[in-house]
Amino acid sequence: MRDSPVENRLKHLGLVILAVLVVLTSRLWYLQIMRGDVYEALSVGNRVRVIPVPAPRGKILDRSGVPLVTSRMAFSVSIVPQDVPDMEATIARLAPILGMSPESIREKLGAPRRPFDPARLKTDVDPRVVTTIGEQRTDLPGVVVGEMPVRNYVYGEFASHLLGYIREIDATELKVYRDKGYRPGDLIGKVGVERTFEEYLRGEDGGEQVEVNSLSQPIKVLGSLPPVPGDDVVLTIDQKVQAAAERALAEQLDALSKSPKTKNAKAGAVVAMDPRTGEILAMTSKPAYDPNMFVGELSPEDLKFLSSSPSPQPNRVTSHTYPPGSAFKVITTLAALERHKVTIDDRFVCTGRDPESGKVCWIAERGRSHGKQDLVQGIANSCNIVFYELGRRVGIDNLAMYARVFGLGRPTGIALFPPDASGLVPDRTWKRLNFKGYDQRWYPTETLDVAIGQGALLVTPIQVANVYATIAAGGAMHEPMVARAVLSPDGKVIREFPPRGVGNVNVSAESLDILKQGLAKVVSEGTGAAAFKGFPVPAGGKTGTAQTPTGDSHGWFAGFAPLDHPEIVVVVLVEHGTGGSLAAAPVARKVMEAYFGIDEKPPAGPNEAGQTPEAAGGPQEPPTGGGAGPLAPAATQQVEPASPSQQVP
């Protein structure tokens, strides 16, 4: 008998069902038996997460162990994109809570990272924001609130350019540091000590294995690996001297900017150094910034401040170059003495104008002259006529050679990031290489300009400090250094950094003695006398006033004390301060007072009427111009000792 059509359809249906069951059974067997371990791991991975625990960075201490930079715990908000069903809706809800734009959140989510690694959106979040996120947690799946250590710059703007700051690593840095264990979202030192000593300060991150719920919120800690804090860095900075430099420069800039004659004096730099070792005792650059602003998101006000003028970001001690003005005259003096182009018995006559070139001395602008004077008096009075004549006798080749022997025209090698600027020492070769297509001849008047620290000559304040430290140390040159040692978290010394000599400048003791006589007279009866009146420690120094292509002149002072056995060198630069004796020397005195523990207050800056030090009893040098412990890290840039060809004969 034949099957009925109904029975045939039932048989066909049964075969189809059987085939489906076979396929399903085969698939289940494959998933559970063949791939069971894989899918079990995926299930656990969705339920169990490994959350990185950032290590606190090491502390940064002054030479006496006073903490300047520490770490504190703060809230952070992150998001696990794989746990967010509707990313755009979550971003729209989360952006106003965090005070971020949707674009900035998308940018952070777009950074490369490992699967299920949270993308950190904001750090140092206000507790009220954390409360708001907690109240809306069901509407914010995948959003995670955690705690992490953040930087705490204890004294705000204090030594900000020296200390630096940290921020999230960028793509360029990630390429360089990836093999050292850095990942997207990690924090890294950007400038200053934070960057230079990153390898010590960073520490080793830990982690927690936690069970999470469907909202990616941790509900149970299954295991943990504690983070290892970073090492501490002990600096050469003396907190007392640093504080005095910060305060003195800030007060002087405030006073100067209120006077009609010096209203453009709004920026400057101070560096203090131990000439016996090269240790930096203080370093400040104004205007300054508070590194704490970089801990979280920069506000529009922060960004506006950082882009203001004068800019608060560059370290003017190491990164900006300036004409040195009369602060350079120590080089001209030594070049002339060592080349036997001048003696202590030579006499010069200043009528206010150089008879050969027609260039004028600064005092001629007041209708006066210095008259007859010897070399020591010429230094004390900063007489341009004397130094024009010395420049003529010495010549540009010797001037440039001595400038380079004393470290100008090249980085000092100080262990700070970014590296310090080279500056510029002009000579015939420089002009020939840089004036192609123009007049390449070196003119005699250009030599005279260099002799008084003008022309194309450019230096940094740290280079000037190195020059005066070398003079103070009798010709011994040290690499400037900012760190004495690295300590483990439990206080054990891991590494010490001894002073590093980088050569000796071969100048005679007689030449140095004559120069020091002149520098002593600068502060006792010359252009720096008003600022140092009554100062109880024998000191020497040089004021400088450097003309600029545009704007008011810069004011310099560079000096050291005690005179016979110097312990401290102080260099002060005030941008557009119009005069070194007016703007810079009073700041240097306050720094020296702090170092020697002198309570007497130095003379004030210009009064409301714009009174100058000359009016208070000492001469004022207007702009020069053509008439018109343990110490620095091994992993730093090295400066080789001067080769025999660089040594002064």
CATH number at residue 140: 3.90.1310.10
Q: Would you say 612 and 534 are in contact if contact means Cβ atoms under 8 Å apart?
A: no
Report CA-CA distances (Å) from 156 to 152, 160, 243, 282, 380. Answer: 9, 8, 12, 16, 40
Angstrom distance (rounded) from CA 598 to CA 133: 55
Same domain (yes/no): 560, 455? yes
- Mean of the pLDDT values across residues 557-572? 98
Q: Which of 205-219, 298-312, 582-596 has the lowest mean pLDDT?
A: 205-219
pLDDT of residue 476: 97
End residue of a domain, out of 569, 596, 623: 596
Q: Which of 5-14, 286-295, 406-415 has the lowest mean pLDDT?
A: 5-14
pLDDT of residue 82: 80
Q: Which of 43-57, 84-98, 254-268 has the lowest mean pLDDT?
A: 43-57
Same domain (yes/no): 225, 352? no
In a domain, residue 48? The reply is no
pLDDT of residue 221: 63
pLDDT of residue 357: 93
Same domain (yes/no): 411, 541? yes
Q: What is the largest CA-CA distance in the chain?
A: 146
Question: Which residues are paired to 117 by β-bridges?
Answer: none
Percentage of the chain modeled with pLDDT above 90: 67
Q: Would you say 486 and 422 are in contact if contact means Cβ atoms under 8 Å apart?
A: no
Same domain (yes/no): 225, 356? no
- The total number of structural domains in the chain stands at 2
pLDDT of residue 405: 97
Query: Would you place residue 611 in the very low, low, confident or very high pLDDT band (cuts 50, 70, 90)?
Result: very low
Burial of 67 (0-12, 13-18, 19+ CB in 10 A): middle
Query: Would you place residue 185 in the very low, low, confident or very high pLDDT band (cuts 50, 70, 90)?
Result: confident
Same domain (yes/no): 346, 435? yes
In a domain, residue 68? The reply is yes
Residue of 491 and 437 predicted with greater confidence = 491
Residue of 329 and 606 predicted with greater confidence = 329
Query: Would you place residue 549 in the very low, low, confident or very high pLDDT band (cuts 50, 70, 90)?
Result: confident
Tokens of 640: 């080789």
pLDDT of residue 7: 72
Angle at 376 between CA 373 and CA 382, to 5 degrees: 80
CATH number at residue 366: 3.40.710.10
Angstrom distance (rounded) from CA 523 to CA 535: 9
Percentage of the chain modeled with pLDDT above 70: 85
In a domain, residue 634? The reply is no
Query: Would you place residue 643 in the very low, low, confident or very high pLDDT band (cuts 50, 70, 90)?
Result: very low
Same domain (yes/no): 504, 552? yes
Same domain (yes/no): 172, 278? no
Q: Would you say 231 and 486 are in contact if contact means Cβ atoms under 8 Å apart?
A: yes
End residue of a domain, out of 211, 235, 259: 235
pLDDT of residue 648: 30
Q: Is the pLDDT of residue 620 over 80?
A: no
- Mean of the pLDDT values across residues 226-243? 96
Q: Is the pLDDT of residue 559 over 70?
A: yes
End residue of a domain, out of 556, 580, 596: 596
Same domain (yes/no): 347, 209? no
- Mean of the pLDDT values across residues 51-61? 89
In a domain, residue 302? The reply is no
Phi-psi region of 593 (alpha: psi -120 to 50; beta: other; left: phi over 0): alpha
Angstrom distance (rounded) from CA 209 to CA 205: 14
Query: Would you place residue 614 in the very low, low, confident or very high pLDDT band (cuts 50, 70, 90)?
Result: very low
In a domain, residue 413? The reply is yes
Same domain (yes/no): 177, 270? no
Same domain (yes/no): 203, 270? no
Same domain (yes/no): 329, 221? no
Query: Would you place residue 381 in the very low, low, confident or very high pLDDT band (cuts 50, 70, 90)?
Result: very high
Q: What is the pLDDT of residues 522-548, one digit of tens each?
A: 999 999 999 999 999 999 999 999 999
In a domain, residue 149? The reply is yes
Report CA-CA distances (Å) from 214 to 135, 207, 559. Answer: 16, 21, 68
Angstrom distance (rounded) from CA 244 to CA 587: 9
Q: Which residues are within 8 A (CB) of 385 and not within 5 positions of it... i.e. 6 or more apart?
A: 348, 349, 350, 351, 352, 353, 354, 361, 370
Query: Would you place residue 227 in the very low, low, confident or very high pLDDT band (cuts 50, 70, 90)?
Result: confident
Q: Is the pLDDT of residue 595 over 80?
A: yes
In a domain, residue 425? The reply is yes
Q: Which DSSP letter does residue 59 get? A: P
Report CA-CA distances (Å) from 68 to 157, 240, 253. Answer: 11, 12, 24
Look up the domain containing 155 and give its range: 57-235
DSSP calls for 254-270: HHHHTSGGGTT--EEEE
Same domain (yes/no): 69, 193? yes
Residue 519's closest CA among 471, 556, 477? 471
Report CA-CA distances (Å) from 51 to 81, 111, 180, 223, 254. Answer: 15, 18, 20, 11, 49
Whether cis (ω within 30° of 0) applies to the bond prior to 287 is yes
In a domain, residue 32? The reply is no
Residue of 469 and 614 predicted with greater confidence = 469
Tell me the average pLDDT of the chain. 87
Query: Would you place residue 615 in the very low, low, confident or very high pLDDT band (cuts 50, 70, 90)?
Result: very low
Residue of 503 and 470 predicted with greater confidence = 470
